[in-house]
Structure 1
Amino acid sequence: MTEQASSPTADIVIYHNPACGTSRNTLALLRDKGLEPQVVEYVKAGWTREQLEALTQKMGVTARDILRERGTKAVELGLTDPSTSDEAIIAAMIMDPILVNRPIVSTPKGAALCRPAELVLGLL
């Protein structure tokens, strides 16, 4: 007899933007696997420095690696300039949450920017 988790999967978090097709597909993929993650609509909820620093550390990336350029003011703000520090990028992400690329999923196995959506499977 195999045992499946019957409790809510609070240890799985998706930083989600419902306006994003990849984010919706990633959430659907998790649900298709029988998982109900904690859904954080980060555009509404916003970010803290601590959240972003913890996520990038868990992901093993820099803030620049999760910076969303398309459809944002990243270029106008100078955030794509190689001399811009991670600290400045994080400060901008806190001021304008849409600057964080999505979806990011965090599980006990790690965290990743799930573009494409199937990357989430490696975290399960």
Structure 2
Amino acid sequence: MTEPIQIFHNPRCSKSRQALELLSEQGIEPEIIRYLETPPTEQELSDILVALNYQPRELMRTGENEFKELGLDNPDLSREQLIAAMVANPKLIERPIVLANGKAAVGRPPENILTIL
């Protein structure tokens, strides 16, 4: 059995809603993970970063107050410290993220997710 398609979703985000609509148009009912309420674990987030081929800051919303307040632009912070900060402050995680077929895509723009379906 194949893994279900998952979307790390924030219903208040227009790009996240658009990505969910795109999935629906493809006949896909993904597992919806409201990551602000149920953040990924550090291991899950690390796995997502590997699937995206991203470094942690590439998946961070650098304009959020928490980014500045926590000093996350400090180049001395390790990968593990940055991942821990995102898990502790899920608002920092860029959205939406779709996982499908062992791959991951960030839906910015939402059409990016179509590349992994």
**TM-score between both structures, scaled by the size of structure 2:** 0.91
CA RMSD of aligned residues (A): 1.5
Contact 2:56–2:79 (CA under 8 A) maintained in structure 1 = yes
Which of these residues, 17, 22, 26, is aligned with residue 10 of structure 2?
A: 17
Which of these residues, 76, 82, 92, is aligned with residue 83 of structure 1?
A: 76
Which of these residues, 40, 44, 55, is aligned with residue 51 of structure 1?
A: 44
Greater Rg over alpha carbons, structure: 1
How far apart are the structure 2 equivalents of 1:120 and 1:74? Answer: 26
**Pairing 1:42-121 to 2, within 5 Å after superposition:** 42-108=35-101, 110-121=103-114
- After TM superposition, give the deviation of residue 64 of structure 1 in Å: 1.2
- After TM superposition, give the deviation of residue 109 of structure 1 in Å: 5.2
More strand by share: 1
How far apart are the structure 2 equivalents of 1:30 and 1:11? Answer: 12
| Alignment deviations for residues 8-46 of structure 1 (CA, whole Å, 9 cap, x no partner) | x85210000111100000000100111101100000012
Q: When the two structures are aligned, how many residues end up with a matched partner? A: 116
| Alignment deviations for residues 47-91 of structure 1 (CA, whole Å, 9 cap, x no partner) | 211110111111111111101122341022111233322211111
**TM-score between both structures, scaled by the size of structure 1:** 0.86
Contact 2:10–2:36 (CA under 8 A) maintained in structure 1 = yes
Secondary structure at the aligned position of 1:79 is classed as: coil
Structure 1 ranges of 4+ moved more than 6 A: none
How far apart are the structure 2 equivalents of 1:70 and 1:113? Answer: 17
Secondary structure at the aligned position of 1:105 is classed as: strand
